[in-house]
């Protein structure tokens, strides 16, 4: 189930505050299976990736997650009533925090630079939510009666926040930059888009903001270098002849180290695994020989120079891939009696080698049997 938003945007104004409070979501932890093994082989049961929290009510969705070195975290999603919700991890567990929004809206992207600088997009509404000392404040991007798509956001500090939108009425894409006191809107050379709900934008600094984008019929990337936006197309050799390519999620670790997870397919057959790397000058395929399968999108650093990636077999069975310096390693995905896990997002917990992941349980491409939070490491 792909839930892409359709919304409204332009001049931000704080309109509503929601206190950061809530109740513990009904959930239960289940054991998981994961282990490090050579590429192409499946791991035996051992500590590693595991499900730490399940939300068993049908049609509970989780889309994105951010984490902090102090042990707190935020996960975004949708309630069974199809309304926006965030889950806040504190010392007493995960607590639900409802955000305003009509039926059919949800919290898609959540991004942060610190526990006190957290932002989230309200999909199917013209709003971005900002965590303040008074709770969550909504910032409206409504522009008259225009339908505006909220395409993503990124922040590296309270004085550097980017929100990306597309106006269906004017058919123009925009970037909106917040410097801590005011917003500035810039028309973009391409539409921020990808075959994903989350992680279409990634930033490592104020002068290294990257997005996945479409320009005409071509898949491109865009970078803001501190002065202007530039587009960089993916090479024609990204996929074999006859293959379709869908960019999924992007990770910018520095100006010379950017990664893209690519979904490939030929007809109804998915694969192969394609991971693209930007070295500061051009895009190329990551080195090494990956196992059979296809990247499903989620991508995050591992805290020691490598990457964690969400993947699927050609028949849709989920698994994890670890990549470092040309070496690919396959890990089992945790199992759950409520169905296969459709992984939505991964995030490294700062100053550690541990990660959180979020996803949905049930049928592929969006389960309807609840959702799960995963963890790797301590």
Do residues 355 and 369 touch, judged by C-beta distance below 8 A? no
pLDDT tens readout for residues 258-298? 999 999 999 888 999 999 999 999 999 999 999 999 999 99
Task: Tell me what the pLDDT averaged over the chain comes to.
Answer: 87
- Nearest 5 degrees, angle CA 221-CA 341-CA 245? 30
Q: Say whether pLDDT at 108 is over 70.
A: yes
Closest CA to 131 of 142, 121, 120: 120
What is the C-alpha to C-alpha distance for residues 334 and 53, in angstroms, rounded to an integer?
A: 12
Could you tell me how far CA 7 lies from the centroid of its own chain?
19
Closest CA to 217 of 175, 245, 188: 245
Which of 4-8, 72-76, 120-124, 167-171 is predicted with the least confidence, judged by mean pLDDT? 4-8
What is residue 47's predicted lDDT score, i.e. its pLDDT?
58
Give me the residues paired with residue 84 across strands. Answer: 78
pLDDT of residue 218: 86
- The tokens for 21 are 């409070």
Whether pLDDT at 3 is above 80: no
Q: How far apart are CA 347 and CA 303, in angstroms?
A: 10
Question: Do the Cβ atoms of 202 and 212 come closer than 8 Å?
Answer: no
pLDDT digits (tens, 9 = 90+) for 49-58: 999 999 999 9
Strand partners for 88: 74, 95
- C-alpha to C-alpha distance for 188 and 184, rounded to whole angstroms: 13
pLDDT band, residue 64 (cuts 50/70/90): very high
78 has pLDDT over 60: yes
pLDDT tier, 241 (very low <50, low <70, confident <90, very high otherwise): confident
Instruction: Dig out the tokens for 285 from the structure.
Output: 């395929």
DSSP string, 31-89: ------EETTSPPPS-SSSEEEEEE-STT-EEEEEEE-TTS-EEEEEE-TTS-EEEEEE
Residue of 85 and 24 predicted with greater confidence: 85
Say what the pLDDT of residue 306 is. Answer: 98
Contact between 55 and 93 (Cβ < 8 Å): no
pLDDT of 7 reads 29
- For residues 67 and 195, give the distance between their C-alpha atoms in angstroms, rounded to a whole number: 24
Query: What is the pLDDT averaged over residues 63-67?
Result: 98
How does DSSP classify residue 236? G
Distance CA 310, CA 83 (A): 27
Please give the Cα distance from 241 to 269 (Å, whole number). Answer: 14
In whole angstroms, what is the distance from residue 368 CA to residue 317 CA?
16
Phi, psi of 268 (to 5 degrees): -95, 5
């Amino acid at each position: 189930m792909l839930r892409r938003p359709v919304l409204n945007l332009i001049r931000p104004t704080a309109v509503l505050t929601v206190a950061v409070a809530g109740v513990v979501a009904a959930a239960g932890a289940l054991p998981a299976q994961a282990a490090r093994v050579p590429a192409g082989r499946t791991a035996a049961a051992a500590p590693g990736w595991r499900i730490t929290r399940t939300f068993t009510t049908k049609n509970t969705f989780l889309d994105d997650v951010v984490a902090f070195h102090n042990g707190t975290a935020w996960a975004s999603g949708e309630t069974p009533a199809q309304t926006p919700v965030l889950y806040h991890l504190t010392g007493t567990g995960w607590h639900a925090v409802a955000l305003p929004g009509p039926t059919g809206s949800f919290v898609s992207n959540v991004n942060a630079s610190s526990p006190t600088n957290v932002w989230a997009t309200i999909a199917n509404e013209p709003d971005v939510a900002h965590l303040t000392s008074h709770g969550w404040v909504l910032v409206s991007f409504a522009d008259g009666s225009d339908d505006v798509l909220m395409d993503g956001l990124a922040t590296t500090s309270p004085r550097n926040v980017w929100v990306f939108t597309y106006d269906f009425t004017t058919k123009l894409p925009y970037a909106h930059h917040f410097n801590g006191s005011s917003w500035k809107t810039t028309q973009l050379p391409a539409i921020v888009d990808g075959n994903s709900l989350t992680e279409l934008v990634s930033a490592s600094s104020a002068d290294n903001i990257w997005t996945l984008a479409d320009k005409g019929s071509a898949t491109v990337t865009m970078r803001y270098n501190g002065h202007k936006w530039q587009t960089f197309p993916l090479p024609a050799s990204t996929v074999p002849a006859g293959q379709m390519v869908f960019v999924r999620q992007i990770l910018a670790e520095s100006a010379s180290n950017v990664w893209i997870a690519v979904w490939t397919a030929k007809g109804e057959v998915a694969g192969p695994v394609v991971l693209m790397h930007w070295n500061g000058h051009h895009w190329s395929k990551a080195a090494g020989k990956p196992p059979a399968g296809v990247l499903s999108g989620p991508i995050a650093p591992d805290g020691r120079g490598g990457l964690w990636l969400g993947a699927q077999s050609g028949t849709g069975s989920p698994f994890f891939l670890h990549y470092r310096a040309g070496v690919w390693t396959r890990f089992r995905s945790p199992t759950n009696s409520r169905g296969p896990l459709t992984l939505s997002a991964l995030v490294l917990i700062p100053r550690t080698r541990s990660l959180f992941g979020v996803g949905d349980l049930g049928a592929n491409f969006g389960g309807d049997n609840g959702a799960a939070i995963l963890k790797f490491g301590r």
